[in-house]
Each structure stands twice: as C-alpha cells, then as structure tokens.
Amino acid sequence: MRILAVLAVLCVACPAAAAPHDRTERLLGELADAPGPSGYEEAVRRVMVRELTPLAEKITYDGVGSVIAQHGASGPKVMLDAHMDELGGMVRRVTPTGFLSMQMLGGWLDQALPDQRWIIIGRKGPVHAVTGIRDVHVVPADERTRVFSRDSLYLDVGARNAAEVAALGISPGDPVVPDSPFVALPGGRYLGKAWDDRVGCAVVIEALRRLRASGHPNQLYVAATVQEEIGLRGARTAADLIKPDIGIAIEGGIAGDSPGRSPEETQAVLGGGPGLFLYDSSTLPNRRFVTLVGDVAMAKDIPLQRDLVQGYGDDSAAIQATAGGVPTINLVVPARYTHAHNGIIDRADFDRTVDLVVALIQRLDAPTVARLRNFAPNR
C-alpha cells in the first residue's frame, strides 16, 4: 500500500504531458493514415468536414474540392490555410505480365521510391503493392550505389498477368499512396506519412476549436485546400472565393537536426518550437507580419525558429497573389524526412504552433490588419 501511495503522489507531481491516445494524438494519427494524394483527397476531406462542421458557422467548398469553414461575421477576413493532399502517385499502365507503372504526384526523390510498400485505391478497395528492387546478388558491383530513375520502377501487386490486375479492381488513373501507418514513439514524437501537410490540417482544426471558445476579432476562414503538391492550386481557388485581407499558411517544416545535414539547408530542430519562414522559393512573407509573429511569440513565451529554405513552396504564395495582393506568412511544425514514406514530428512543436496561431489571430484586429496592408511611404 505504501508503494502504491508513493506512486500515486509521483504521478500527480509529474509535469503535464500528452495523455496516451488523447484527442489530438488520435486526430493526428487519423489524418496521417488517411489516403489523399493530390487530386484524390476524399478521405482527408471527410475527416476535415467532420471536425470543422461543429466548430464553424458555415462550410462551403471551392470548385476543385477545398473545404472552407467560416467563423465570425465581422472584422478583417483572415484565411488560415493547410493543404490536405500528400505526395503519392497514380497507376499509369498495366503490363501484360501484371506489373504497373506509376505516375508520381509531387516532389519525390528517386532514392526514396524503390522497395517501398504502397496502397492502390482501386474500385474494389485498397490493394497492397511494392515498388520492386533488383536483387543484390545479380546487380553488377558498379551499379550497387546507383540511384535508379522513377521511370524504371514498377508496382508489384502479386498478379501474374493483366487480367489478374483487372480482377483486383485496378485500372489506370487509380491513386497510389505510401503504406506507412502512424506510430506514437517514445518521448512524445510521432512517426507517420504525410506530415506535409496533415500536421497543418490538425493545427487549423485545434486552432479553430480554441478560437471558437475564446473569441477573436475577425472573419476567420479555415481553408483545407487541395493539390498543393502539384502547383498550389486549391489555395488559389479558395482564396478567389474568400478574398482575404490577410493569409496564414500552416505547413510541415523541414528539420535539419539529423546526421549529415548542412546548417545551410535548414536550421530548425525537432522540439525547438514552431517555425517561421523568412524565405522560400515560392514567396517572400510580409515583413511587418513577420515582426508581428515574433512579437506575439515573445509575449506568449513561445520559442520561434526562423528559417530560410530553398527548393520549397507553400500555399502562402498562391494566397499572396490573389485579391489584389494579400499579406501572408508561412508557419510550420518542424518535421524530419518530408516527401518520403516516413516522417517524425514532435508533439510539443505541434502544441506550441497551435498556441501561436491562436494568439496571432486574436491580435489581428482591424487596425492591426490595416497597418500590415499599408504600404504608403512615411512622410
């Protein structure tokens, strides 16, 4: 009994931590596991609509499938964006011997593709597949370190011929997604696919949940957009409908804390807090908005990682170029190994990003937004 009492006291005294399988963890796992390559976001859209509907005053859609949840009827129009699609592919052709070629969707590295498991979403349901790889016993020595082109890879579903592939309900155009189930790792870190940008999808849901309870001075439009990975398409069409005064994109960032990385690639680390992009290859953020984010983070004692990343694009670029020009920023939850089958995020980074987004939107009243949008020279 004495041991049990001591354990009970110790448990009460433990610092606050995410409870196993709490609501947020379950949401992150469901979003990560949902199949949703560009143009095939249906499963993710169902989750987003289910979660956003009780929090919003109105749910609408653009003409390509983005979800727009509105809360608040007065004040500046704030567009809070996260994209639903992930890297994936589609079946291109079926060979007579039952193999399938694949059209990649999004910015894959060729070295991330061989010997990986995939799921094909056919008309009869999901079908498991693998991208084959040549056996080391027959590969010549001078080819063993070579990266093979994606065009040389084929999906293997175990079929003997094209008729067996058809019997599985597979045909050209069917979507293909990584087969990489969500796993909660020790220390509050999560392993899964599609953190770019399912982690952003979870951020905007949790931010709206809190803003609905606490209030905010805006017309808030939470946009879960489509086809970001193939050209930022849904962000543009959603922004065309919203006509925002201000835009905030939430993304999966790029952590540079794994071995072999150069600090010039990225300096963000897991557990270091939310990130703010000062530059990427698609957009430059509004400088006053960048300053405001820093001020809010400091006031709320939220660590903020500022970064510049080349070879990266995000929805804020599309939002920025609509409605005559929109001040935008891109906030990120750092992630390791994006644009591959498996990535890792830190729960503390997620929670702090939600804290920052909520505090920032509460600051975006009409005078503040007017200052961000004012480019008249000082006299």
**Per-residue confidence band for 1, with pLDDT thresholds at 50, 70 and 90:** very low
Q: Which is more confident, 249 or 132?
A: 249
- Nearest CA to 153 out of 207, 200, 113 is that of 113
Any catalytic annotation for residue 228?
Answer: yes
Decide: 345 and 189 in contact? Cβ < 8 Å: yes
Coil vs helix vs strand at 49: helix
Write down the catalytic residue from 25, 228, 229, 251.
228
Question: Which among 332, 331, 326 has a CA at the least distance from the CA of 246?
Answer: 326
- Taking the C-alpha atoms of residue 91 and residue 122, their distance in angstroms, rounded to an integer, is 10
**Does pLDDT of 203 surpass 70?**
yes
Q: Quote the pTM value.
A: 0.91
Q: What pLDDT shows up at residue 149?
A: 75
The average pLDDT across 154-162 equals 97
Domains belonging to the chain, first-starting first, are 18-86+193-372 (3.40.630.10), 91-178 (2.40.30.40)
pLDDT (tens digit per residue) in 207-253:
999 999 999 999 999 999 999 999 999 999 999 999 999 999 999 99
- Asked whether residue 137 carries a pLDDT value surpassing 80, the answer given is no
Q: Residues of 176-210 as b/e, b for ≥16 C-beta within 10 angstroms?
A: bbbbbebebeeebbbbbbbbbbbbbbbbbbbbbbb
CB 217 within 8 A of CB 368: no
**Residue 12 scores a pLDDT above 70:** no
Q: What is the per-residue pLDDT for 233?
A: 96
Task: Answer whether 236's CB lies under 8 Å from 62's CB.
Answer: no
pLDDT greater than 70 at residue 134? no
pLDDT more than 90, % of the chain: 80
pLDDT per residue as tens digits for the range 43-99:
999 999 999 999 999 999 999 999 999 999 999 999 999 999 999 999 999 999 999
Residue with the two structure tokens 């980074």: 349
Q: What is the pLDDT of residues 275-332, one digit of tens each?
A: 999 988 888 999 999 999 999 999 999 999 998 888 788 999 999 999 999 999 999 9
> Is there a contact between 191 and 182 (Cβ–Cβ < 8 Å)?
yes
pLDDT recorded at residue 19: 52
Q: What is the pLDDT of residue 313?
A: 85
* C-alpha span between 94 and 102 (Å, rounded): 9
347 three-state secondary structure: helix
Q: What is the mean pLDDT of the chain?
A: 91
Q: Roughly how many angstroms between the first and final C-alpha of the chain, as a whole number?
A: 76
Does residue 15 carry a pLDDT above 50?
no
Q: Which residue has the tokens 């400091």?
A: 298
pLDDT score of 96: 97
Residue 160 tokens read as 């003997």
Spatial separation of the C-alpha atoms in residues 76 and 82, rounded to whole Å: 19
Burial class of residue 40 in the structure, from the number of CB atoms within 10 Å of its CB (0-12 exposed, 13-18 middle, 19+ buried): buried
In this predicted structure, what is the pLDDT of residue 3?
Answer: 41
Tokens standing for residue 180: 């990489």
pLDDT for 365 equals: 97
Predicted confidence at residue 8, as pLDDT, reads 42
Position 13 scores a pLDDT of 37
Confidence of residue 110 (pLDDT cuts 50, 70, 90): confident
Alpha helix positions (H), the chain: 2-13, 23-33, 42-52, 162-167, 195-214, 233-242, 287-299, 315-320, 347-363, 366-372
